[in-house]
Structure 1
Amino acid sequence: MSSWNLKQNALDLNSCAREPIRTPGAIQPYGLILVLDPSTLTVKECAVARADVIETLGDPLGQSIDTLLGGALASCRPALESLATGATQFLGAHPVGGHGGHHTLAHRLADDLIVELEAPVPGEPGSLEDLYPAIRAFMGEIERVPGTRELCELAAVQIRQLTGFDRTLVYQFDKEWNGAVVAEDGNGVLPSYLDLRFPESDIPAQARELYRQNRVRLIADSDYHPVPLVRTADTAAAPPTDLSPAMLRSVSPVHLQYMRNMGTGASMSVSLLREGELWGLISCHNEAPKRVPYHVRTACEFIGQILSLQISLKERAAVVEERIARRAIQVRLLGRMAGDQDFMAALGRDQQNLLALTQSAGAAIVHRGQCILHGDCPRQEQVMQLVQWLTVQQHEGDLICTDRLPLEWDAADAFADVASGVLAISISQIHDSFVLWFRPEVVRTVRWGGDPRKEDTGLPLSPRTSFEGWKETVRRQSLPWNEVDRDAAMELRTAIVDIVLRKAEEMAALNEQLLRSNKELEAFSYSVSHDLRAPFRHIVGYSELLWAAAGERLNDSEKRYLDTIVESAQSAGTLVDDLLSFSQMGRSTMGQISMDMTALVQDVRHKLDMEYAGRSITWVVPNLPRVQADPGMLRLVWQNLLSNAIKFTRDTAHPAIEVGHYRTDTEHVFFVQDNGCGFDMRYVDKLFGVFQRLHHSDEYEGTGIGLANVNRIITRHGGRTWAEGQLGVGAKFFFTIPFVTGDKV
């Protein structure tokens, strides 16, 4: 039964979650769809919006691709015959009965070949080339954006400029598939939805799956009249045709009513994916009906793909950095525990790191009837009651975690102010022994786009009519525990069991923890290599194949596009390689030996000769002391610092680079000074962070990882890094190596 047989005045809110939205049996009235038999390329089903097309060119049903529509698609036969299952191909623009060049796409499914011809929009761009400056400007801007939210804000502005919608917003899903508007750009015609939340039922599971498969979706008029699909007699009993890949596919009447309730006459969405899963949507709304041309939608899809990659990269890098920081805390805790038979006392002597391990305000260690409290906690008797409650709860594994304890256990309401959230690990199979971390209640106001609660009226539910901000005050909840918090707690549990309770050999247990950390980082490296490096290489490889195959037939603009694609993919590949190097630096083994720092600096400098070939640089490299350090890591430090000095003196008339050293009471201090472009000291704190750059890549190449590597290497040696600079005068970078017995000047 077609979804269009549902009565408009009795729409069920949950019907959208059950409707056959992939097989609506109709299309939007902006062109025509032909369903062909893949073996014969004859039309077995069609939907034609304009009746005069059939009057002029005849009924397409039963016609061959060579004759239908007056032979307009005859030249497409070779492309259609070679189209692989699951593929979509743009076939160009083809005239349909004097109504202009229709943008034509073919979609190959298992049993059907769908050809959709979308009518042109008056005044539309002639090609994607007309929109390339806007795309290039966006790609340049994202290099200067520090975080995910700023990326989304930039994309919202760019998409609205391209499409002309009244309002464009970026919508992010949470773990329960509720959505939150994290960025918005509008002209004031439609109300702002920024920071509003929308319940999961607004976009049900099957709709989210379609968003994941189809990156762009357009509904040009919420009051359109659908055009039904018509079949030949011999296919009348066949199952409904799957139109899910088609842009002209008709949509659920429930969704159209939702749009009308929202006051929008047109909408468009661009899907944002992270590692193949739906992260969110760029959602565009217009008060009046609005069609978006094919080439503009293609540009928006490209921007959405770029944004998806950037979100994935930034979020993954942030998680990896946080895991590395937590492991550093864990190593310090293990160092105390490994040398003490009483692990409770050992943990208690390092309260700061115990709390920092899970970003908590309080912690309790319960073992053999004893209870030791650290930080902001419930009273001892309350903690013991909590432990008794935890032991009888059904849970998987040795970890229990909740951010709403008072809502799950009434007795916790008495201490919700300090322990609305609890993360607990069981550390014994025999005794009621736990390590517990607490987070306080965080009273916060959540603004929903309309009241998300459902009232039982006894009548069929219809799409909600109010989207005014509805405030809900959330109490008796803490900040949520994330995966990094849970993993850090479980790793500590493993350490306690292995090192203390089972009295394993100290070094063997510590190595086991380090091996576990290495395996996880290796899994991360593999994931990045598999998910990001290979696609970039494919882009370069296929671009080069395209150049070789069609180079003589390409015009100058097309050659420039290919060059830009290769250059961008190579740049992105370099960024991924640098990120992998950065993640691996923290787990590589250090082999410290007495090394000649002067010889190392001179060797690195000579290997960088090609970087300043043709330039005259004044070098000052004095005799430097021997130090105890890992030579491979220190080589990378000098290589980064000297290479930066060479790069940032590129535009200096008389470049000079000085390497220097002095001693304090506890450490060697080395520095590299140049008279290059320098930097503003207001941003000095950003220098040693991942992806933090103070110069645009058009001026000075780089990925923003080199100084982060320097900082990590020196930190692992027990030293420090810092910098001084002045714009237009130069920069001076310092690092230290602590003294060891026998160090000499």
Structure 2
Amino acid sequence: MATSLAGTIKSGADLEACAREPIHIPGAIQPHGALLALDPATLAVMQAACGPGLGLFDAQAAIGRPVAEILPAPLRPLLAPIGAVTTPQYLGMARLPHSARGLHAIAHRAGDALILELEEGIEEEPTEFYHIYPALQAFLGALEAAGTIEELGTLAAREVRRITGFDRVLVYRFDPEWNGTVIAEDGNDRLPSYLGLRFPAGDIPAQARELYRLNRLRLIADADYVPVPILPAGHPATGAPLDLSQSVLRSVSPVHLEYMRNMGTGASMSISLLRDGALWGLISCHNRAPHRVPYHVRTACDFLGQILSLQLVAKERGALAERRIALRAVESQLLARMAAEEQFLDGLVAAPDDLLGLTHAAGAAVVSAGQCRTVGVTPSEDAIARITAWLDARPVEDLFATESLVGEMPGAEALKDSACGLVAISISQLHSSYVLWFRPELVRTVRWGGSPLKPGEVPEGARIHPRKSFEAWKETVRERSAPWDEAELDAAAQLRSAIVEIVLRRAEELAQLNEQLLRSNKELEAFSYSVSHDLRAPFRHIVGYSQLLRQNEADKISERGQRFIDTIIESAVSAGTLVDDLLSFSQMGRATLHPRRIDIGQLVAEVRAQLAPDMAGRAIEWRVGALPAIVADPTMLRLVFQNLLDNAIKFTRGRSPAVIEIGHRAGEGEAIFFVRDNGAGFDMAYVSKLFGVFQRLHRAEEFEGTGIGLANVKRIVEQRHGGRVWAEGAVDQGATLYFALPVGANG
């Protein structure tokens, strides 16, 4: 569009050359005024330029002279405040004798120079800004009633065209890639309509955008003007060219003037729209013929642009705030559901509409602890696993968002129907845990103001030429989803923060509970040890004195009394055994581990020999497989096999023959041992009780025991060696007890 400085460039090198063009130091001004660069200390002229039609002074002859000497007398009073000028300042207007036009004086600083510009006025132009202000009052009132950004733009375009007289006025908005779209337009049909067209970022290079940001208004009154050179070209002391970034008369790039002519415009004016100091867009004005706009009218347009900028920002922020409030309500509902679930991440997928509504996604997935839970339209679990693996390989990011996963992740072309757009939040620094939102490909048509792909013309390497065609050109955009907006990304980030806070809080609670549990276990172990140790002597005394009573006083005790004494001895022995087992159980949690390599085959043989008295008169068939050597604490592992074999011997009583099998098999990262028998077995409905302290699945009258042996096995294997235990069985069909130790522990 007519505010651009370069068209689409033929090559990357040409584009770089355009971006390097020194448009802020052109070394010339437009011909409808004069410029003087003054020494701030003496107000002597260091550099000068004067339009040929003004006849104010001879630029070459002015060098080195005090400014007051070379200016006509009516202009000299305007110089009074010039020494204190820092930022651009309007000094006033004066009329020369025998001229119906005045001269506007504007000053600013550029480096170590004071810049005085004298712009030729227009006949019957307003002489003060307040003459224009009443015309803006109706516009300011209408702005308050506008509901959308497009309505604001339309009002502004209409008002600017009314007070400036341009043929066409556009409001032009930049996207994040600096492409510009015409969102509003007002015209008189002398120039074609560009409403709704998009213009490529290359039309307004970065350095041009920076000039628009620094200097909010720029007028080119005639696209065919002949630039007036500044003399001398460089600073007298440094040789540096004069920086005209803040100048109202700055000459523009020849590329831009050609661009204007290619568009069929003889004059243009731009008004910058800023948001928080950054360029948001432009009000771009075009005229078929050359066209001058009076200085105070331009000032009114600048004022209008500032007001419009504030209104645009307010509308955007208001709409964003409303969306954020709505999404915060959705987030609150998700958090409430998460709080209600034992596994809090289950609360996310329990409310599919809320999870999808948080980012207006078509599908979502929660990946954690090796599980993948999905809602809506998503890729397959295998594809989601590939996406999370790709995310894991990237630099750590709390939030990742793209509307074109195809352009980011290799192999993502096949996923575009469900995952062309992706937002991912990482919810763990240690594990591959994510919440993912997906959007499908959205095929859409973009109307460009001329093909953005059309090459420029650079004949014989001379200089860059802009494109010549601005006819509407349609592009079909593929492999992109609908874009994620700021409110949606903020909502995803807020959810991540909430999840991380829940994880940290639960980790703290778990750590506190674990600390309390460890303390309670130590207290319980100490108590059990103390009680067990203190009870052993009384039970021995009961047994001993009962036996003495039976031996020494047998003739004085009736047969019934003898039975009572036998019951006392039997109960005391049983209680003593229980105390001994309880003492052993408490010691297992306190004893220091002394791991070393153990020959399990030899260990099993020694345990079988130790249990030989319990097998007297029994028909037992032993089936002992090949057992490997492992690393473990030998004393504790001996107790494991002693308990397991003793159980097998005990619960096969009544079987002839009793069959007891001891074997091993390799597991994934662990060594698995088992003891299998053909004895009484157990009901699998009660398997969870099998390894508990004092838990028995058979009556004491059937099988003796204290219910501590298998609890000891569980403690030794799981707590002391980091392994695991489990069992399988059926009533009257035998049982198999397993334990597994990590291979890492076994060297």
Structure 2-normalised TM-score?
Answer: 0.63
Change beyond 3 A, Cα 1:502–1:440 = same
Deviations 1:324-360 (A, max 9, x none): 2222221221112123231232212211111111111
Matched, 1:159 2:160: yes
Q: Pick which of 176-185 and 322-331 moved more.
A: 322-331
The equivalent of 1:421 in structure 2 is 421
Aligned-partner Cα distance in 2 for 1:223–1:370: 69
The equivalent of 2:670 in structure 1 is none
1:470 is paired with a residue whose SS is strand
Change beyond 3 A, Cα 1:463–1:58 = closer
The equivalent of 1:434 in structure 2 is 434
Q: In the alignment, is the contact (CA less than 8 A) between 1:54 and 1:60 conserved in 2?
A: no
The equivalent of 1:130 in structure 2 is 131
Matched, 1:301 2:298: no
Letter in 1 for 2:387: L
Distance apart, 1:51 and its partner CA:
6.3
Q: How does 1:525-564 map to 2 (within 5 A)?
A: none
Deviations 1:452-499 (A, max 9, x none): 125498865521111111111011211112232222222222322331
Q: In the alignment, is the contact (CA less than 8 A) between 2:456 and 2:465 conserved in 1?
A: no
Q: In the alignment, is the contact (CA less than 8 A) between 1:65 and 1:73 conserved in 2?
A: no
Aligned-partner Cα distance in 2 for 1:418–1:234: 62
Matched, 1:290 2:302: no
Matched, 1:150 2:132: no
Q: In the alignment, is the contact (CA less than 8 A) between 1:44 and 1:232 conserved in 2?
A: no
Which residue, out of 30, 40, 45, partners 2:32?
30
Q: How does 1:182-581 map to 2 (within 5 A)?
A: 182-231=183-232, 235=236, 238-392=239-393, 394-409=394-409, 411-453=411-453, 455=455, 460=461, 461-500=464-503, 503-504=506-507
Aligned-partner Cα distance in 2 for 1:172–1:57: 41
Aligned-partner Cα distance in 2 for 1:380–1:242: 60
Deviations 1:504-552 (A, max 9, x none): 579xxxxxxxxxxxxxxxxxxxxxxxxxxxxxxxxxxxxxxxxxxxxxx
Q: In the alignment, is the contact (CA less than 8 A) between 1:13 and 1:463 conserved in 2?
A: no
Identity of aligned residues (%): 54
Deviations 1:647-668 (A, max 9, x none): xxxxxxxxxxxxxxxxxxxxxx
Aligned-partner Cα distance in 1 for 2:327–2:36: 57
Change beyond 3 A, Cα 1:58–1:101 = farther
Q: In the alignment, is the contact (CA less than 8 A) between 2:49 and 2:59 conserved in 1?
A: no
Distance apart, 1:105 and its partner CA:
0.8
Matched, 1:68 2:70: yes
Distance apart, 1:451 and its partner CA:
1.3
Letter in 1 for 2:88: T
Change beyond 3 A, Cα 1:220–1:354 = same
Q: In the alignment, is the contact (CA less than 8 A) between 1:61 and 1:232 conserved in 2?
A: no
Aligned residues: 497
Q: How does 1:682-693 map to 2 (within 5 A)?
A: none
Change beyond 3 A, Cα 1:210–1:55 = closer
Aligned-partner Cα distance in 1 for 2:27–2:243: 9
Change beyond 3 A, Cα 1:57–1:304 = closer
Q: Pick which of 313-322 and 162-171 moved more.
A: 313-322
Aligned-partner Cα distance in 2 for 1:232–1:215: 26
Aligned-partner Cα distance in 2 for 1:56–1:65: 12
Change beyond 3 A, Cα 1:242–1:141 = same
Aligned-partner Cα distance in 1 for 2:234–2:147: 60
Aligned-partner Cα distance in 1 for 2:233–2:200: 42
Change beyond 3 A, Cα 1:401–1:161 = same
Change beyond 3 A, Cα 1:332–1:67 = same
1:218 is paired with a residue whose SS is strand
2:498 is paired with a residue whose SS is helix
Distance apart, 1:27 and its partner CA:
0.6
Distance apart, 1:292 and its partner CA:
0.7
Q: In the alignment, is the contact (CA less than 8 A) between 1:338 and 1:500 conserved in 2?
A: no
The equivalent of 1:550 in structure 2 is none
Distance apart, 1:399 and its partner CA:
2.1
The equivalent of 1:592 in structure 2 is none
Change beyond 3 A, Cα 1:457–1:30 = closer
Aligned-partner Cα distance in 2 for 1:271–1:105: 20
Distance apart, 1:95 and its partner CA:
3.2
| Alignment root-mean-square deviation, CA | 2.8
Letter in 1 for 2:153: C
Aligned-partner Cα distance in 2 for 1:391–1:75: 71
Aligned-partner Cα distance in 2 for 1:422–1:275: 29
Q: In the alignment, is the contact (CA less than 8 A) between 1:14 and 1:201 conserved in 2?
A: no
Q: How does 1:610-689 map to 2 (within 5 A)?
A: none
Q: How does 1:586-605 map to 2 (within 5 A)?
A: none
Q: In the alignment, is the contact (CA less than 8 A) between 2:78 and 2:105 conserved in 1?
A: no
Structure 1-normalised TM-score?
Answer: 0.63
Aligned-partner Cα distance in 1 for 2:377–2:60: 80
Deviations 1:94-143 (A, max 9, x none): 23574431111111234111111111123323333332232101001111
Distance apart, 1:313 and its partner CA:
1.3
Which structure has the larger Rg over C-alpha atoms? 2
Deviations 1:630-653 (A, max 9, x none): xxxxxxxxxxxxxxxxxxxxxxxx
Q: In the alignment, is the contact (CA less than 8 A) between 2:366 and 2:373 conserved in 1?
A: yes
Deviations 1:233-266 (A, max 9, x none): 9927531111221111111111111111111111
Letter in 1 for 2:499: I
Letter in 2 for 1:29: P
Distance apart, 1:41 and its partner CA:
1.1
Q: In the alignment, is the contact (CA less than 8 A) between 2:218 and 2:270 conserved in 1?
A: yes
Deviations 1:607-627 (A, max 9, x none): xxxxxxxxxxxxxxxxxxxxx
> Unaligned stretches of 5+ in structure 1?
1-8, 507-745
Aligned-partner Cα distance in 2 for 1:116–1:501: 64
Change beyond 3 A, Cα 1:51–1:152 = closer
> Unaligned stretches of 5+ in structure 2?
1-9, 510-747
Change beyond 3 A, Cα 1:214–1:451 = same
Change beyond 3 A, Cα 1:265–1:440 = same
Aligned-partner Cα distance in 2 for 1:404–1:55: 61
Q: In the alignment, is the contact (CA less than 8 A) between 2:447 and 2:472 conserved in 1?
A: yes
The equivalent of 1:176 in structure 2 is 177
Q: In the alignment, is the contact (CA less than 8 A) between 1:32 and 1:116 conserved in 2?
A: yes
The equivalent of 1:49 in structure 2 is 51
Q: In the alignment, is the contact (CA less than 8 A) between 1:341 and 1:500 conserved in 2?
A: no
Aligned-partner Cα distance in 1 for 2:138–2:457: 52
Change beyond 3 A, Cα 1:115–1:249 = same
Q: In the alignment, is the contact (CA less than 8 A) between 2:172 and 2:281 conserved in 1?
A: yes
Q: In the alignment, is the contact (CA less than 8 A) between 1:58 and 1:69 conserved in 2?
A: no
Aligned-partner Cα distance in 2 for 1:271–1:56: 35
2:132 is paired with a residue whose SS is helix
Aligned-partner Cα distance in 2 for 1:232–1:333: 67
